[in-house]
Structure 1
Amino acid sequence: MSSNDVAIQVANVSKCYNVYHSPRDRLKQFILPKFNRLVGKEPENFYEEFWALDNINFSVKKGESAGIIGRNGSGKSTLLQLITGTLTPTSGEIYTQGRIAALLELGSGFNPEFTGIENIYLNGAVLGLTKNEIDNKFDAIAGFADIGSHLKQPVKNYSSGMMVRLAFAVQVQLEPEILIVDEALAVGDALFQKRCFQQIEKLTNDGVTLLFVSHDQESVRTITNKSILLDRGKQLNVGLSSDILLEYRRLLHKEESEYFSKLAQNLSKKTDISKDVPNKNENLSAITTSSKISSLNNEGNNNTPSRTEKLSFGEGNAEIESVKVLNSDGEFSNAFNPGDKIKIRVNCHVKKDISKLNVGIRIRNKEGVKIYSWGTLNQDMAIRYKNSDSIQFWERKFIEGERFFVDLDFTCDLGTNLYEIQAAISLEETPNYLSQRILHWQDEAAFFHVNVVRDEYFFGGVIDLKMIASW
């Protein structure tokens, strides 16, 4: 890749902070090391080093859209500040080519005492625009922000929503070559977020390089081509956004399992679980302990995982054995027309006595957009809401070694596309999705294609709304 093709190059970048336990230690660090050097003694440090980032390496080509994902505290915001130049790296180099517009912390770049109008001109000047250039773009900025007479008020009086409206409007209307967006958009209302994402898509189509940070995995999958996964300051992987997001979900699951394992161990130290703790805690202890043993076994296995293994994760006390797509005759099929009946059969295997299960699926199109997600717990929740006497799957008890299947039936109202089915079996401590632990998740569990017959019944889009025309 030539240097002319690169918009952002991060090479061996690390960032270290000195952490002081008290103001006294900071004062000692300022005085004593200098004094020790004068008298020929080895200087002593009165701080601890915290490496917010450790040896980060990646590049983003011009016109490319890249995401940065990771848990809170992984170093995402620090990395963005290094790229924008508001921080300097402890080691390594960062190369950028093009004018950068950054939407980072809420209100960053604004003078709170200035009015919205004054801050527009201030930000434009920082980006290198003349007053005449900002004048020409002012109406577009004010129209996109859509905060009316508040533009004449000091920014310190703005709500968080008004702040992000103005900040985003300024950054995108001043024609950046590199746009960096952090989590700030999350505070905007749904309509404004929609307008922001439309504007981001327009900019990327025009060749603007995008660096996007969000905890919304569907937004990252849809907007970006590649992603960088960070964890505790270290770079775990770089690759296609769909692959990196799967690895991110696997990482979250692993950390959640470790948390529950520690919780179960702490409970077992305080009391005899087999006698004094209710059944749900017995299941919790058994499952998390089994998960920990399985994790340790996997760490000792140096065999390269198969593609199927890479696409799945979970605690392992129940598993998805297969997912089949059937037609109205109960026969296997992977091609349907709108209006056809589709049955998705999820075959499961229970490896331990267990209850409170949920079997669910997620359907995505080939662009990676989630079309629909649903599971047995959704149906159970509706049953409880209606005070119905119908049997709830969540209450069913399974014994070790038991195999069963769940059929999920629907009428195909989807537009023409290739669809992926993701399947999962989870343990739900509460019957409302508020305490979920994945026992087995499988990406690319099955596929099917929907083809619209143009002569018989034609529509466009991702779903058939069954519109009726009248006059």
Structure 2
Amino acid sequence: MSSDEISIRVEGLGKRYEIYSSPRERLKQFILPPIQRVIGRDVVAHYKEHWALRDISFEIKKGEAFGIVGRNGSGKSTLLQIITGTLAPTVGNVTTKGRIAALLELGSGFNPEFSGRENVYLNAMLLGMTREQVDERFDKIAAFADIGDYLEQPVKTYSSGMLVRLAFAVQVQIDPDILIVDEALAVGDALFQKRCFARIEKLLSDGVTLLFVSHDQESVRTLTHRAILLRGGQEVLTGSSSEVLLSYRKLLHEEESSYFSRLAPKQTTASNGSKKPAASNSANKGTSLPGRSDNLSFGDGGIEVTAVQTFDADGETCAVFYPGDPVKIRVRCHSTITTDRINVSIRIRSREGIKIYSWGTLNQDMQVLNGALGGEVFWTREIQENEDFDVWFECSCTLGPNLYEIQAAISYEGKPDYTEQRILHWKDEAAFFQTLMRQNEYAFGGMTDLRMKAMW
């Protein structure tokens, strides 16, 4: 790839911190090593090394949207600080091309004693704009921030949401070549987030490079093309956003299973003598299960999804539906344990990777248990060892024309409210179906049909 096409290049990046047990050890490190070198003795370190990042390499093309995901402490913020130049690497190199706008820590670059107006000028001029340019764009900045009379008040009186409004409004008005966003938008209200994402999409269409960090997997999937997954400061995977997010979900599942395995034995016995699944103690060895592809499945095991199919109103297999058509989805399962407290669920995603809907047997059970619906509770049903069973999901098609993916999952729910969940088997790309529209009979625009009526 030509260097002219690269917006950000990271090569062999590493960041090391020296951790001292006491101020005395820090003083020793400052004084003794130079003396030891002079007298020819071995240098003794008085600190412990902590590598926040180690051997990170990737390239981002101009105009590309790139995501960074990982748990807290994985090195995401350290990586961003090095890319923006506010932190120096221990080893490796970072090359960037163009003006960078970075929304990292809330209020960074703001003087708490200055008013919002004064901070707009201060921040924008620090980012390279002239006073005349800020004058020209001030009304747009103020309108986007939309904080009213607070613009004339000291920033120290602002809420976190107001801080990020003002900071984002300034950053996107400097015509950046690279925009870096690190979780900051999570504190804004829903309307402001909508404006921010619309502005980000406009910048992307104008050829701006986006580096986006968020724990919101759907935002990463929707906004970015590629991503990198970090764990303990090291690269786990770099690839398409969908592949990286699946690996991220597996990583979260493995760490959750490892945590539960330290709290519980391999099997626990219920009051009726049946065995219930405990967390796998082999989580760190990988938890892929049989299915369409090992790369698309994970879980603790015990019960697995063996097949997912879609059917029409007559019970015939069908993969194409029109608005109003009945849709039936069958999830076929096989159990190798005896247990209850099981939830079978599905998630429907569009071709673009946007989650449209998720629902499971536990959602219906919750209604039954609360008296809002009659019927049996699946959560209390005892699944037998070596049992094959089906769960059917039925709905009316209200989706717009698109290709849709069905993900299927089986989970053990300690309580009937999703607060104690462990995944036994998760399966991406379990099935696909398509929706079309008969334009001359019934038509609507968008992702879903709200069954709207007009009156006059």
TM-score scaled by length of structure 2: 0.96
Residue 142 of structure 1 deviates from its aligned partner by 0.5
Question: Is the Cα–Cα contact under 8 Å of residues 254 and 286 in structure 2 kept in the other structure?
Answer: no
Counterpart CA distance in 1 for 2:166 and 2:283 is 51
Does 1:468 find its partner at 2:449? no
Counterpart CA distance in 2 for 1:157 and 1:47 is 41
Aligned-pair identity in percent equals: 58
Select the residue among 392, 395, 398 that pairs with 1:410.
Answer: 395
Does 1:156 find its partner at 2:141? no
Letter paired with 1:132: E
Counterpart CA distance in 2 for 1:197 and 1:189 is 12
Are the structure 2 counterparts of residues 296 and 466 from structure 1 closer, same or farther at C-alpha, using a change threshold of 3 Å? Answer: closer
Q: Secondary structure at the match of 1:173?
A: coil
Letter paired with 1:119: N
Equivalent residue number for residue 35 of structure 2 = 35
Letter paired with 2:98: G
Equivalent residue number for residue 246 of structure 1 = 246
Q: Secondary structure at the match of 1:252?
A: helix
Residue 127 of structure 1 deviates from its aligned partner by 1.6
Counterpart CA distance in 1 for 2:239 and 2:197 is 22
Counterpart CA distance in 1 for 2:286 and 2:120 is 58
Residue 260 of structure 1 deviates from its aligned partner by 1.2
Select the residue among 384, 387, 410 that pairs with 1:425.
Answer: 410
Question: Is the Cα–Cα contact under 8 Å of residues 106 and 164 in structure 1 kept in the other structure?
Answer: yes
Q: 5 Å matches for 1:196-207? A: 196-207=196-207
Question: Is the Cα–Cα contact under 8 Å of residues 115 and 153 in structure 1 kept in the other structure?
Answer: yes
1:190-244: CA deviation from partner (whole Å, max 9, x where unpaired): 1111111111111101111000000000000000000011000001111110111
Are the structure 2 counterparts of residues 438 and 297 from structure 1 closer, same or farther at C-alpha, using a change threshold of 3 Å? Answer: closer
Residue 293 of structure 1 deviates from its aligned partner by 4.8
Q: Secondary structure at the match of 2:111?
A: coil
RMSD (CA atoms): 2.0
Residue 36 of structure 1 deviates from its aligned partner by 2.6
Q: Which runs of 5+ in 2 are unaligned?
A: none
Are the structure 2 counterparts of residues 297 and 20 from structure 1 closer, same or farther at C-alpha, using a change threshold of 3 Å? Answer: closer
Question: Is the Cα–Cα contact under 8 Å of residues 291 and 427 in structure 2 kept in the other structure?
Answer: no
Q: Secondary structure at the match of 2:112?
A: coil
Equivalent residue number for residue 281 of structure 2 = 292
Counterpart CA distance in 2 for 1:279 and 1:311 is 35
Q: Which structure shows the higher helix fraction?
A: 1
Residues matched between the structures, number? 456
Question: Is the Cα–Cα contact under 8 Å of residues 291 and 306 in structure 2 kept in the other structure?
Answer: no
Are the structure 2 counterparts of residues 307 and 397 from structure 1 closer, same or farther at C-alpha, using a change threshold of 3 Å? Answer: closer
Residue 263 of structure 1 deviates from its aligned partner by 1.5
Question: Is the Cα–Cα contact under 8 Å of residues 99 and 178 in structure 1 kept in the other structure?
Answer: yes
Question: Is the Cα–Cα contact under 8 Å of residues 15 and 53 in structure 1 kept in the other structure?
Answer: yes
Question: Is the Cα–Cα contact under 8 Å of residues 254 and 283 in structure 2 kept in the other structure?
Answer: no
Q: Secondary structure at the match of 1:142?
A: helix
Residue 107 of structure 1 deviates from its aligned partner by 1.1
Q: 5 Å matches for 1:345-356? A: 345-356=330-341
Question: Is the Cα–Cα contact under 8 Å of residues 280 and 429 in structure 1 kept in the other structure?
Answer: no
Question: Is the Cα–Cα contact under 8 Å of residues 137 and 174 in structure 1 kept in the other structure?
Answer: no
Counterpart CA distance in 2 for 1:415 and 1:41 is 75
Residue 39 of structure 1 deviates from its aligned partner by 3.4
Question: Is the Cα–Cα contact under 8 Å of residues 324 and 446 in structure 1 kept in the other structure?
Answer: yes
1:345-366: CA deviation from partner (whole Å, max 9, x where unpaired): 0000111011100000000110
Equivalent residue number for residue 379 of structure 1 = 364
Counterpart CA distance in 2 for 1:402 and 1:191 is 49
Select the residue among 394, 400, 406 that pairs with 2:379.
Answer: 394
Question: Is the Cα–Cα contact under 8 Å of residues 311 and 444 in structure 1 kept in the other structure?
Answer: yes
Question: Is the Cα–Cα contact under 8 Å of residues 365 and 417 in structure 1 kept in the other structure?
Answer: yes
Q: Secondary structure at the match of 2:278?
A: helix
Are the structure 2 counterparts of residues 230 and 283 from structure 1 closer, same or farther at C-alpha, using a change threshold of 3 Å? Answer: farther
Q: 5 Å matches for 1:84-233? A: 84-233=84-233
Letter paired with 2:24: R
Counterpart CA distance in 2 for 1:373 and 1:389 is 22
Letter paired with 1:180: I
Equivalent residue number for residue 441 of structure 1 = 426
Question: Is the Cα–Cα contact under 8 Å of residues 237 and 244 in structure 1 kept in the other structure?
Answer: yes
Letter paired with 2:210: L
Letter paired with 2:145: A
Counterpart CA distance in 1 for 2:411 and 2:339 is 11
Letter paired with 2:390: F
Residue 308 of structure 1 deviates from its aligned partner by 1.4
Question: Is the Cα–Cα contact under 8 Å of residues 177 and 209 in structure 2 kept in the other structure?
Answer: yes
Are the structure 2 counterparts of residues 258 and 87 from structure 1 closer, same or farther at C-alpha, using a change threshold of 3 Å? Answer: same
Residue 45 of structure 1 deviates from its aligned partner by 1.3
Q: Which runs of 5+ in 1 are unaligned?
A: none
Counterpart CA distance in 2 for 1:52 and 1:182 is 17
Counterpart CA distance in 2 for 1:84 and 1:422 is 38
